[in-house]
Amino acid sequence: METTNDMEIRLRKMKDTFLDRDPDSIHKLLGEQIEKVMTLEWSNLGGKTKLSTAMVIDAFKDVYVDSRSPYYVKDTEECSVFNYYNAFTEIIRDSKNFFNNIESTLLLSSLFNI
């Protein structure tokens, strides 16, 4: 029961937290995320799981560049952490390494300090 409550709190926090739209802040976030994925990893008996810098760049494009993306946010709109997180989860879901989807998704929390 407590795990469910923790998840609800985390989801609410992601939906209620918005990223700064200032171009410098957006680029700073991109750089911080690229730096984090270079060092973050999830280790278990099955081996190590890492996110790639390409995933970070692809999620960034989905949210801020590609107007055809379902996660795209116009310059005049706020971008929630939840929206950005979902852009990442779709990239992870569609990746060829489907055995590590759970571990990869768990690493996302570290990217957004959730």
How confident is the model at residue 107, as a pLDDT?
Answer: 79
State residue 41's pLDDT score: 79
Within 13 Å of residue 47, how many CA atoms lie on the same side as its CB? Answer: 6
Average pLDDT over all residues of the chain: 86
Residues 6 or more apart in contact with residue 91 via CB below 8 angstroms: 55, 58, 59, 62
Q: pLDDT by residue (tens digit) across 34-69?
A: 999 998 877 777 778 788 899 999 999 999 999 999
How large is the C-alpha radius of gyration of the chain?
14
